[in-house]
Amino acid sequence: MAIEYPTITKVGTRYGAPMGREAWKEAPEGPVKLFRLPLEDGAYDFGGAYWGAPDNLWCATDGSNFRAFVRAETFQEAADAVHTLAQTWGLLVLLEHDALSDVVTGYIRCLFFCNEEQEDDDGTTPFEGKGPSDLSEQAHDSIQSDCFRFLEWAKIYLPKDFSDWEQLGQDFYYDRCGHGVGARDRPEVYGGEEIADQLSEIAKDRKLGFGETYEYVGDDGKVYV
């Protein structure tokens, strides 16, 4: 299953990228997922729509009738903004935080950050200029599967009010690949040193299917893991 940000489909015109995306103002048919919508190059979503800076965009949608976009720094700020916007449309919405999307976002951003200056034996830097849109379908499937399983383990230990899921995704990548930084360096984020240590150990545990991973650029220019 490929990484999906609900309703964020590929867009584009012969005249360039469209500005933003349309809001849907119908009553939702069910729970509304709220998730960070990461921007590539600080301006474009994964489907190619242009939003501009800063990179603090959130989307709330039920996938069919309701869709809203807001700018916020935290989930709670985004939730409050969506509720306020929905009320101006005469609607009430029940929000669910799509934690997996945020974990995947953090993981992918960290993957490209750590590989952008990686040199091959011939001195070339194959990841130069690469970004999330260059991930192969195989990489999408592998990343989402690993993040889903890691998230299920992490939830056993994380406090109930935990909210920094994107940081969790980043630290999952850092820890599993042995970059010398990770959850252990942020005990205040995870609710204490014991929890942070446990998360680091899970990320490295090969018996659980985690541990070090390797990324490379294929002949087709796509990134594989």
* Residue-wise pLDDT tens digits, 134-150: 889 899 899 999 999 99
The span from the CA of 147 to the CA of 168, in Å, is 10
Q: Which amino acid is located at 46 in the chain?
A: F
Q: Which domain holds residue 92?
A: 24-97
The span from the CA of 51 to the CA of 25, in Å, is 20
Decide: helix, strand or coil at residue 28: coil
Verify that 187 and 111 share a domain, yes or no.
yes
Q: Which helix (H) or strand (E) holds 59?
A: strand 57-61
Final residue in a domain of this structure, among 73, 97, 121: 97
pTM score: 0.74
Position 3 in a domain: no
Q: How many structural domains does the chain have? A: 2
The span from the CA of 26 to the CA of 89, in Å, is 8
Position 11 in a domain: no
Verify that 106 and 192 share a domain, yes or no.
yes
Question: Tens digits of per-residue pLDDT, 165-181?
Answer: 999 999 999 999 999 99
Final residue in a domain of this structure, among 50, 73, 97: 97
Question: Tens digits of per-residue pLDDT, 20-43?
Answer: 999 999 999 888 999 888 887 768
Among the listed residues 162, 202, 196, 192, the one whose alpha carbon sits nearest the alpha carbon of residue 182: 196
